[in-house]
Structure 1
Amino acid sequence: MAAAATAALLLTTAPTAHADFLPGTIEIPCATGFLERSADWYLPLGTPRGLVWLQHGFARSSAQLADLATAFADDGYLVFAPSLPFFDLSGCTLQNLSDNTGFLAHIAALFTTADDPNGGLSTSLASAARSAGRTLSTLPADVVFVGHSAGAEAVAFVAEHLRTTTPHTWARLRGLVLLDPVKSFLGDNTDRALAGIDTTTLPTLTISAPPSACNNLGAGTSAVQAHLHRPFVGVQLPHGAHTDAEGTSSDFLGETLCGHPDPINVATLRTLALGWTDDFFRSAITPAYYPAAPFGVVPAAPGAIPLPGG
């Protein structure tokens, strides 16, 4: 099949299943107490294929990733989308504005106890399900982390924390998808996380927009390319916007400051993010999703640029 036909097929095929949206909350240790935050769950039709942690970026909430979360759930995944704070003097923040490594370690602990029915993830999902009149089984064992903007730094840090502290949980992590990653102005969370991940075979791929103020002049993408010594680490959409991951869930603030999502770029990002996630869970490689040699097919907006690693 010709590249253009492949791209058209991938971008226009619609899922037939429909997700259920379950709003809920999650308790996370913070300094000397606990922080209760909203946490959205998206349930697929039937048995989940796996768990996806979908993390929003700085000054955003899970609401801005609702469309993408629904797409993952329609594709068969159970999606956990928490709203994390982005400014807190105690360091309980998504972005590294003041040392937030302790807070992110507590986020990591949610996944180390995922198989515990009394753990934070299980109790959050069970409570949300009860409120919606749903009965659920246990959480899927395997997980993929997907982070947008500052959320990309957070999921990379949590992944590296799991690698160094909890091998059993690390073994259940199937891959990372970083959506226009933003590297913090302070600290070296991104650099240390990616350098550690580079010592492994964990699939880690990015979909980036051109450098702009909203992605810290592309510093996150540059870090991915510098620290991941792999022939292919993702794609850049030359005319993409920082808000492409949010799609129609973006809002006035995001679109005013960071650009209006283009439907073609949104579809491209979604196709690649879901396609890579499917491959991670299946331990497979679908050639059309990897525009680096030897594949050469780009199911993306015209002119998408493959990103080589360091």
Structure 2
Amino acid sequence: MLPFPPGVPRWRALPAAALAVCVLVSSPQVAAQMRSSAAGETREDAANAVRTLTLTLSERPVRVDVHAPAGKGRDAVVLAHGFMRTRASLAGHAAALAEAGYLTVASDLPYGVSARDNGEALADLLALMRAGALGMPVERIVLAGFSAGALAALFAAVNTPDLAGYIALDPVDFPDREGLAAAHHLQIPAVLLHGPPSACNVFRRAAPWAAAMPDLREERLIENASHCDFESPTDGVCTHLCGATTPERQAAVRAALLRAAAALLSPR
């Protein structure tokens, strides 16, 4: 995510950010269920055991891909994409997590620049999963997000204390450090995976989260990774603005994500 120009309110900077950025591309359960419900459209991809649902999250229709787990796993991972991206940019990670035995949900985010509103949508999704709205039983859930999606996921995680854990993939924070303030209140285990400082991770403005989180289990630097190495698959828009990827670095990110999920969802 490219930084907003100094001294310019975020809402004024948004049009420029939308052109320049690649990714950068607590709701109580009862209230969430009242305003969050499954809509009629369902697409099934039998070959890959992926269903696409349209849900109402935070009063907006949202597309969600549900990747069935290999085996009979009841633990789940939810993935949140970066700014100006979609759930498709995390489909590779979702497939790998499902192959590892986790029900994996990759959701679009309904609000453009508002990480707090997207956090409410994610909290609604978590409540729906707990209520069985996806048609699969769910026990423990890990919430993971990339870039600005990591910030939205952090807001949701702070307000969902029964999660098994939180994973941030090269996260970003806003200039007013809203994420840092939230990190102090995160009461669940957390893992931070990041690349070196770059314009697209706002020169690691989210770095102070590590010291703030009460239950940080791991902080890992992926050596020489670009911001786009944390997506799967990424695209030319991201690599043009945020740096090239390599199969080796992408594999390192994937392996770190799978290890983090396994550690947070290890048998009790």
The bucket for the TM-score relative to the shorter chain is 0.7 to 0.9
Distance change >3 Å, CA 191–CA 139, structure 1 → 2: same
Deviation per CA, 1:88-131: give whole Å up to 9, x if none: xxxx44x43xxx535523431332343324xxxx1xx35xxxxx
Q: Which position in structure 2 is the counterpart of 1:114?
A: 129
Whichever of the two has the greater Rg, that structure is 1
Cα contact 1:147–1:177 (8 A) shared by 2: yes
Query: What is the deviation of 1:139?
Result: 2.9
Q: Which position in structure 2 is the counterpart of 1:271?
A: 255
Q: Which position in structure 2 is the counterpart of 1:192?
A: 181
Q: TM-score, normalised by structure 1?
A: 0.66
1:61-76 to 2 correspondences below 5 Å: 61-76=86-101
Deviation per CA, 1:44-99: give whole Å up to 9, x if none: 222124111011101111111111111001101111111114xxxxxx44x43xxx
Paired residue total: 222
Q: Which position in structure 2 is the counterpart of 1:160?
A: 158
Q: TM-score, normalised by structure 2?
A: 0.75
Cα contact 1:26–1:82 (8 A) shared by 2: no
1:41-190 to 2 correspondences below 5 Å: 41-85=66-110, 92-93=111-112, 95-96=113-114, 101-102=116-117, 104-117=119-132, 122=133, 125-126=134-135, 138-162=136-160, 170-171=161-162, 173-185=163-175, 187-190=176-179
Cα contact 1:68–1:245 (8 A) shared by 2: no
Cα contact 2:189–2:216 (8 A) shared by 1: no
Query: What is the deviation of 1:279?
Result: 1.4
Using the alignment, how far apart are the partners of 1:43 and 1:230 within structure 2?
29
Query: What is the deviation of 1:273?
Result: 1.0
**Which of 183, 189, 199 is equivalent to 1:203?**
189
Using the alignment, how far apart are the partners of 1:37 and 1:230 within structure 2?
31
Distance change >3 Å, CA 231–CA 111, structure 1 → 2: closer
Helix, strand or coil for the counterpart of 1:80? strand
Q: Structure 1: state its 5+ residue gaps.
A: 1-17, 86-91, 127-137, 163-169, 285-310
Q: Which position in structure 1 is the counterpart of 2:55?
A: 26
Distance change >3 Å, CA 232–CA 276, structure 1 → 2: closer
Distance change >3 Å, CA 232–CA 37, structure 1 → 2: closer
Cα-Cα RMSD: 2.2
Using the alignment, how far apart are the partners of 2:196 and 2:148 within structure 1?
16
Query: What is the deviation of 1:189?
Result: 3.0
Amino acid at match of 1:79: T
Helix, strand or coil for the counterpart of 2:122? helix
Using the alignment, how far apart are the partners of 1:107 and 1:230 within structure 2?
21
**Which of 261, 264, 267 is equivalent to 1:280?**
264
Cα contact 1:174–1:280 (8 A) shared by 2: yes
Distance change >3 Å, CA 267–CA 207, structure 1 → 2: same
Using the alignment, how far apart are the partners of 2:216 and 2:261 within structure 1?
19
Using the alignment, how far apart are the partners of 2:144 and 2:63 within structure 1?
18
Q: Structure 2: state its 5+ residue gaps.
A: 1-46
Cα contact 1:64–1:250 (8 A) shared by 2: yes
Give the percent of matched residue pairs that are identical in Structure 1 and Structure 2: 27
Amino acid at match of 1:216: V
Using the alignment, how far apart are the partners of 2:236 and 2:170 within structure 1?
19
Cα contact 2:184–2:214 (8 A) shared by 1: no
Amino acid at match of 1:101: R
